[in-house]
Amino acid sequence: MEWIEVKIITNSSGIEPLTGVLYNIGISGIVISDKEDFAQFLENNRKYWDYVDEELQRLTTADSSITFYLPDDANGAETLSLARNVIENLKKSTDEYGSLEIFVNNVKDEDWSENWKKFFHPLPLGEKVLIVPEWEQEGVKNPENRVIFTINPGLSFGTGSHESTQMCIEEIEKAIKPNDTLLDLGCGSGILSVISLLLGAKSATAVDIDDKAVEVAFSNLALNKLDEDKMVGYAGDITSDSELRDKIGNGYDIVVANIVSDVIIAIAPFIKDFMKENGTFICSGIINERQSEVKEALEKEGLICQNIRVRNEWSAIICK
C-alpha cells in the first residue's frame, strides 16, 4: 500500500492541542518533532561531545512539526480533508500555535486538491442515493434510478467516502419524510443538506464555523440544480453565539452533526432546542473509543439514544 505523508508546522505550545484534535478524528500514529526538546537534549548532553554536526545544529532552529501517514486512497483523501478542516478551525481560534501550515508529500496542501479526481468515482449509498463526482457526470449508469448527488470535492470534508458521512446519509434516508426540515451542524461541503433536499426535504439549514464551508455548500446546491431558497446558510459557533442560535430557530424534523466528538459534546446542550417534538438527531464523526462519552453527554441533555452504529473505526448515534 502506498502512503501519503502529511506534515503540520507548529511550535512547542501547539504540539499537545494539535495532537488532541488529530486524535479526535482518528489519527493516532504521529511523529513529533519538538525543537525545544531537541535543543534541551543537546544542551543537557553537551558534556558527552565537544562538536555538534552542522545538520544537528541546524535542527535546533527548525520549526516544530507533527507528521502522520494516511493511505493513498479515497479514505485517506477524505481524512486529509477532515484534518485540514479541524486544523483551520484551530488556527482561527488562536495564533499561539505557529503557522499550522500543512504539507503533503512536501507539497503544500492546496496543491493536493487536483489529485482527488483519481480517487472518486460514482458511489451508491443506502437504498436511494448515488454520489457522482462532477467530472464523471457524463454517461453515469444509474439502473436503480437512485437520487443523484453531484459533487466537486474540493477541499471541504464530506464527499461520501468516509464512514461517518456514509452512516449519516443512510440514516437521513431512513428518517426523512416529504416536506421535512433539516438542520446540518458542521455542514462542511453541504453534502447532508443537499442530499436531504434531493430526498424530498422542504428546506435545509447549513451551519459551519468556517464561512468557506458554507460557500462550498451553496456551490454544491447550485451544482445539483436546486433553488437557492431551499437552503439557508450561517457561519459561526452555536456554542457561544446566542444570536446565531436565534437565527437558526427551532422545530426541525431532523438535526444532523457529522463533526468530531468534542464538538458534538459541546453542542449537546442546544440540540433539543433546535428539534421539534419527536424529531431525530443523527450524529457521527465519533471514533469508537469515545462513543460512550458522547452518548452520555447526549443523554445528560435529555436525548434518548435509540441506535448506535459502528463502521470500522467510526460510530454514529441516532437519538430522539
| CATH code, 213 | 3.40.50.150
Q: 103 and 199: one domain? A: no
The residue range of the domain holding 264 is 175-319
pLDDT mean over 241-260? 96
pLDDT mean over 284-309? 96
pLDDT above 60 for 155: no
Q: Is residue 162 in some structural domain?
A: no
Does residue 297 or residue 156 have the better pLDDT?
Answer: 297
Q: Is residue 193 in some structural domain?
A: yes
pLDDT above 70 for 72: yes
Task: Round to whole Å and give the CA distance between 294 and 296.
Answer: 5
Exposure of 60 in the CB half-sphere (CA atoms within 13 A)? 10
| CATH code, 100 | 3.30.70
Q: Is residue 164 in some structural domain?
A: no
Q: 87 and 188: one domain? A: no
> Sorting pLDDT into bands at 50, 70 and 90, what band is 295?
very high
pLDDT mean over 293-317? 96
pLDDT above 70 for 48: no
> Sorting pLDDT into bands at 50, 70 and 90, what band is 46?
very low
Q: 312 and 190: one domain? A: yes
Handedness of CA 66, 19, 169, 183 (dihedral sign): negative
Q: Which residues touch 271 (CB under 8 Å, ≥6 apart)?
A: 255, 257, 281, 298, 301, 303, 319
Q: Which residues touch 295 (CB under 8 Å, ≥6 apart)?
A: 305, 308, 317
Q: Is residue 163 in some structural domain?
A: no
pLDDT above 60 for 135: yes
Helix (H, G, I), strand (E, B) or coil at 219: helix
Q: 105 and 227: one domain? A: no
pTM of the model: 0.71
Q: Is residue 46 in some structural domain?
A: yes
Q: Is residue 139 in some structural domain?
A: no
Count CB neighbours of 229 within 10 A.
Answer: 7
Q: Please, what is the average pLDDT of the chain?
A: 85
pLDDT mean over 213-228? 93
Residue 293: phi, psi to the nearest 5? -65, -45
pLDDT above 90 for 130: yes
Poorest-confidence range of 30-39, 68-77, 110-119, 295-304?
Answer: 110-119
> Sorting pLDDT into bands at 50, 70 and 90, what band is 314?
very high
Q: Is residue 169 in some structural domain?
A: no
> Sorting pLDDT into bands at 50, 70 and 90, what band is 40?
low
Q: 32 and 108: one domain? A: yes
Comparing C-alpha atoms, which of 149, 164, 144 is closest to residue 225? 149
Q: Is residue 35 in some structural domain?
A: yes
pLDDT above 70 for 136: yes
pLDDT above 50 for 178: yes
> Sorting pLDDT into bands at 50, 70 and 90, what band is 41?
very low
Which grid cell sits at 307? 441506535
Residue-level pLDDT at 30 = 84
If you ran DSSP here, which 8-state letter would residue 212 be given? Answer: H
Domain stop point among 116, 140, 165: 116
pLDDT mean over 118-136? 86
Domain stop point among 96, 116, 136: 116
Domain stop point among 67, 98, 116: 116
Q: 201 and 289: one domain? A: yes
Task: Round to whole Å and give the CA distance between 210 and 217.
Answer: 11
Does residue 221 or residue 4 have the better pLDDT?
Answer: 221
For 253-288, how does the pLDDT look when each residue is reduced to its tens digit (9 = 90+)?
Answer: 999 999 989 999 999 999 999 999 999 999 999 999
Angle between helices 291-300 and 261-274 (to 10 degrees): 30
How many separate domains does the chain show? 2
> Sorting pLDDT into bands at 50, 70 and 90, what band is 129?
very high
Residue-level pLDDT at 162 = 85
Q: 11 and 108: one domain? A: yes
Q: 67 and 200: one domain? A: no
* 107-108 β-sheet, strand order: 30-33, 64-71, 3-10, 102-104, 107-108
